[in-house]
Amino acid sequence: MKLKDEVQIWLTGALSDPIVQVLAKNSQLSKTQLETLLIDILAENIAGKQLKYDEKASLRLTKAKISRGAFNRTLKQSKENVIKSIYTVLLLGYLGVFDSTTLDPYLEIANKLHDYVEAHKDVPNKEEELKDHLKVIEIIRKELETSLKRLSSPSEEHL
């Protein structure tokens, strides 16, 4: 399978994950910025070699040809948004906002996300245990989706 096909299959799967969709919708990153950042960070792992930026630009899901310059501009914007988000979290922590109980729902979500990721890592070998394990993963995923959608609702105040 060609690198482009492999990366695009992975990207399509990652970006269509319901949890990724809810998180991305409420993040500081546009869909294009997220896709570009993922390509920049992960494409070389899939390729097993260093890629040039024009090669990375060709991996985007869009049918239109993207220039290296456009890819780099989008990548710069995505990195700036990530850094601003981190500084926002640091600022709120410094000002004591994280000591407030209003953040409890977000902390619960963070714990559920952690449980979900860990459940994916600890897949049992036995078929009977695997069925039960997959049921648990599905329950956690549904809880996460519901909780994330509830928290992202603009009609509710969370901070």
71, 56 Cβ separation under 8 angstroms: yes
Q: What is the DSSP code string of 115-153?
A: HHHHHHH---SSHHHHHHHHHHHHHHHHHHHHHHHHHT-
Nearest to 19, CA basis, from 108, 128, 146? 146
**Domain assignments of the chain as residue spans, ordered by start:** 1-95, 100-159
Tell me how far apart the alpha carbons of residues 41 and 31 are, in angstroms, rounded to a whole number: 15
Q: What is the pLDDT along the chain (159 residues), one digit of tens a residue?
A: 788 888 889 999 999 988 888 889 889 999 999 999 999 988 888 888 889 999 999 999 988 889 999 999 999 999 999 999 999 988 988 888 777 777 778 888 888 888 888 877 777 777 777 888 788 888 888 888 888 888 777 655 555
Q: How many CB atoms lie within 10 A of CB 132?
A: 11
Q: Is the pTM of this model over 0.85?
A: no
- By three-state DSSP, how is residue 58 classified? coil
